[in-house]
A = this chain, B = another copy of it.
Amino acid sequence: MLPENMLKLGLNRSAIRELFEYGKKRSEEIGKENVFDFSIGNPSIPAPDCLTNALKELLENEDPVLLHGYSSAQGDAGVRAAIADQLNEDYGAKLTADNLYMTCGAAASLCISLKAVLLPGEEVLTFAPHFPEYKVFAEGQGGVFKAIEADREHFQIDFEKLEKAVTEKTRAVIINSPNNPSGVVYSRETLEKLAALLRHKQEEYKREIYLISDEPYRELVYDKETEVPYVPAIYANTIVCYSYSKSLSLPGERIGYIAVPDCVKDSRNVYASVCGAGRALGYVCAPTLFQKAAAMCTGKTADIDIYRKNRDMLYGGLKNIGYECVKPDGAFYLFVKALEENAEAFCENAKKYELLLVPGDSFGCTGYVRVSYCVAPETIERALPAFGKLFEEYAAGGK
């Protein structure tokens, strides 16, 4: 008599987790250096020194009763002010502490934002390929989840499909740029077209449609010419969901925030609803030590140049071999065309060469595989010949 959906979520491990466990087992059998595990999106570079120093300093100098005590539910006021200042400097964002709500990471940011705006049965749209848990988060908060196929040439938005998908029940659209799993960054042009379409739909249906911008990879872009625009300046009804998991390499510590800018319609009420949703989901406050440490590191990131080198080596290597892949501008993933239609079969076959890849099916996009390059550079070097053999097998028709 348990709720079936919860039981199913608990029993069915994600394909990514399964692969990760397989990789651990295989490493024990043949040695870690001989397994090329590209399955997990776990940052491979350490938190920056500023973060470790901030933590030590806080532990050394602060009164532990205050340091580890409850903050207000929306987060420490000083912390929020510091983050607002940085966003204003970076993007001309015009935020204050009152626009920010500190969270236990991106997943919490998304669940709270969705719970804050969704009425039962309202629709949440996103674009495939997408982070698989979006479906879990949307349905967990009572929403109906719909994924819209992306244009497969550039993995930007397919506006014809979007136009048809938005209905009078659509309450939220989730975007994720830089994207997991494609690595693609939405251009300003894409975002402007998206904004125009959503504004039009808002008028048509006489109701708010919130753009939920999931930005854990915001700082992970590798070329000077790549712009990651500040979305609320393009579409007013935008709620920004952020996490320090990737920028500060802190995925296990669960620290991030929600920004509800003043340009959002009835901004103060939306913010209040966010506070209410946080209460209803059991988020009392974000971890206080990491709130303070993150605020002491505004504007800093881990050494993401390592990811850029990984991207260049892996993207260049795979293209040289003959693989098809859109060039990723950010995040730490490549989305590579599988060499047979069935990406799951392709990934199964790749295991023969000790290559652990995640089928795009997990991201709502068949025929592709995700390759996470948050790995040691040596892993890429050693893996490229294996990618080569896999390609030859298909080229020779041996498969």
Residues of A whose CB lies within 8 Å of any CB of B are: 1-3, 5-11, 42-47, 52, 55-56, 59, 63-65, 67-71, 104-105, 107-112, 115-119, 133, 136-137, 139-140, 207-208, 249-254, 266, 269-277, 279-290
Q: Is the CB of B275 within 8 A of A118?
A: no
Of the A-B pairs whose beta carbons lie under 8 Å apart in the complex, a sample of 17, sorted by A's number, is: A2-B270, A3-B117, A5-B276, A6-B280, A7-B273, A9-B277, A46-B65, A55-B55, A107-B282, A108-B283, A109-B282, A110-B282, A112-B282, A140-B282, A251-B284, A252-B285, A254-B285
Q: Is the CB of A208 within 8 A of B1?
A: yes
Instruction: Pick the 4 closest A-B CB pairs, nearest first.
Output: A140-B280, A9-B276, A252-B288, A10-B276
Q: Is the CB of A276 within 8 A of B56?
A: no
Q: Is the CB of B2 within 8 A of A269?
A: yes
In this complex, the member of A68, A70, A139 whose beta carbon has the largest number of chain B beta carbons within 10 angstroms is A68
CB within 8 A of A9: which of B6, B11, B108, B280?
A: B280
CB within 8 A of A55: which of B11, B42, B59, B69?
A: B59
A273 to chain B, nearest CB (A): 4
Q: Is the CB of B6 within 8 A of A277?
A: yes
Count this chain's copies in the assembly.
Answer: 2
Q: Is the CB of A11 within 8 A of B284?
A: no
A114 to chain B, nearest CB (A): 9
A148-B69 Cα distance, complex, nearest whole Å: 31
In this complex, the member of A45, A139, A274, A280 whose beta carbon has the largest number of chain B beta carbons within 10 angstroms is A280
A118-B4 Cα distance, complex, nearest whole Å: 10
Q: Is the CB of B52 within 8 A of A69?
A: no
CB within 8 A of A281: which of B47, B71, B282?
A: B282
A385-B105 Cα distance, complex, nearest whole Å: 47
Q: Known interface pairs A9-B280, A71-B252, A272-B11. Does A64 touch B47 (Cβ–Cβ under 8 Å)?
A: yes
| CB nearest neighbor in B for A104 | B104
CB within 8 A of A3: which of B70, B266, B273?
A: B273
CB within 8 A of A68: which of B65, B250, B272?
A: B250
